[in-house]
Amino acid sequence: MKLGTAEAEPGEIATGYLSVTELPTGQPEHVPVVVVEGEKPGPTVWATGAIHGDEPTGMEAIHEFVDRIRDDPLEGTVVCVPVMNPSGFRTNTRTSYYDGDDPNRYFGLEGGDGETPPRVQQLICDRLYEAIRPSADAVISLHTSWIATYPYTIRPRVSYGDHRDETEATELRDRLVELVDAFGLPVVNQFGHDETTQRSLQHTLTGAAIADGIPAFTPELGGRFVVEKDVCEAAVVGLRNVLYALDMVAEPATPETRFELPADTDLKRLVHPHTDTAGIVRYRVREGEWVEPGDAVADIVTPTGERKTEVRVDHRGYVLSRYDRVAVYENDPVLDMAVPDDEPLLLNRSN
Ligand SMILES: [Zn+2]
């Protein structure tokens, strides 16, 4: 397989760069690529990191993962893009600096908006996705969340209707469930359909791949800015176990640390609760804790330390993240939660 300047023959690993646009100062903007070509043919798995530039754990997990599968007989191909957003990576920010865009909202958009040509970030995403789509049998888009985060995998919903029949969608869902389970982190379903659309999450890399029938998911590897070693290790093991589930390697790996959020039902993402009062947030809970409706999860205090109000939850579920700031305005979110899911993973979108 050849990708950019990386060309690997069977049994080889090649590294190189894929040019995605040109910088005003004359250099190419290119993303690093690693192609691991198995001795024998088989599925092609893509693993990507740092589409948000301040989320380095996926990149490090990819580096370590490639190192560990180096000497194993592999059937199929693993293609890694450790840094999908080089400009955000250079500036340690989520967005790219060309126009301040979130790159992970530009996949599968196709074309510009009438008279306005697409911005450079969309062109870059189009070029990346043109490389990914034709070959991918699975896509793992590695991310991190807020600093205080319990690791988990976001499992996207799969729909059927005019675009895809129910049998195909069921097969895609089953494959997705299998691969997400193999990855091994706690599973949290994507927001409900309306919230997903409102947040343009159908245009994440994972969202676009799912729309094209490719199993894809989004591990959230703990907090941003720093590499949490135990979570990174879990991701290295998870990547290998996805290959094992696809019969690409002979042996699975065993995680050193097991991250678990046991529940008697599927969980889904929910940004909840929000504070109705501005002030300084003082948390009473932390990531990984279970809360019940009515529990006070935070106090809002004044700058001189007096309590103004309490913030309570309306749902039972796990705290996934505390937000990484203490100053809050009216209606700012206080937690990301995993709550019992009230929507199916397989959605009927036919009218
Ligand atoms: Zn991210």
Q: Which residues contact 273 (CB under 8 A, 6 or more apart)?
A: 297, 311, 312, 313, 314, 333, 334, 335
CA of 239 relative to ligand 1 center, distance in Å: 18
How far is residue 181's CA from residue 198's CA, in Å, rounded to a whole number?
27
CA of 315 relative to ligand 1 center, distance in Å: 25
How far is residue 203's CA from residue 112's CA, in Å, rounded to a whole number?
14
CA of 306 relative to ligand 1 center, distance in Å: 35
What DSSP designation does 238 have?
A: H
CA of 218 relative to ligand 1 center, distance in Å: 9
pLDDT of 340 over the 70 cut: yes
CA of 10 relative to ligand 1 center, distance in Å: 33
How far is residue 198's CA from residue 273's CA, in Å, rounded to a whole number?
18
Instruction: Kindly give the interhelix angle for 166-183 and 229-245, rounded to the nearest 10 degrees.
Output: 130
CA of 168 relative to ligand 1 center, distance in Å: 29
CA of 103 relative to ligand 1 center, distance in Å: 10
CA of 220 relative to ligand 1 center, distance in Å: 7
CA of 53 relative to ligand 1 center, distance in Å: 8
Per-residue pLDDT at 111: 63
Write out pLDDT tens, residues 265-314.
999 999 999 999 999 999 999 999 999 999 999 999 999 999 999 999 99
CA of 319 relative to ligand 1 center, distance in Å: 18
CA of 108 relative to ligand 1 center, distance in Å: 17
CA of 179 relative to ligand 1 center, distance in Å: 20
CA of 143 relative to ligand 1 center, distance in Å: 4
Q: What is the mean pLDDT of residues 105-114?
A: 80
User: For residues 264 and 288, is the Cβ–Cβ distance under 8 A?
Assistant: no
Write out pLDDT tens, residues 16-66.
999 999 999 999 999 999 999 999 999 999 999 999 999 999 999 999 999
pLDDT of 147 over the 90 cut: yes
Counting other chains too, the contacts that 123-126 makes at CB distance below 8 Å and 24 or more residues apart are 123/20, 123/21, 124/20, 124/21, 124/29, 124/96
DSSP 30-66: EEEEEEEE-SEEEEEEEEE--SSTT-THHHHHHHHHH
CA atoms within 13 A on the CB side of 156: 30
Backbone angles phi, psi at 105, to 5 degrees: -130, 15
CA of 94 relative to ligand 1 center, distance in Å: 7
Ligand 1 ion local residues (Cβ < 5 A): 52, 55, 143
Please name each of the domains of the chain with its CATH number. Answer: 2-245 (3.40.630.10), 267-340 (2.40.50.100)
CA of 351 relative to ligand 1 center, distance in Å: 33
How far is residue 201's CA from residue 107's CA, in Å, rounded to a whole number?
10
Write out pLDDT tens, residues 201-230.
999 999 999 999 999 999 999 999 999 999
How far is residue 38's CA from residue 44's CA, in Å, rounded to a whole number?
10
CA of 55 relative to ligand 1 center, distance in Å: 6
CA of 261 relative to ligand 1 center, distance in Å: 21
Write out pLDDT tens, residues 64-77.
999 999 999 999 99
Per-residue pLDDT at 112: 59
Backbone angles phi, psi at 213, to 5 degrees: 85, 15
pLDDT of 351 over the 70 cut: no
- For residue 235, the tally of other CB atoms under 10 A from its CB is 30
- Mean per-residue pLDDT over the chain, rounded: 97
Per-residue pLDDT at 350: 82
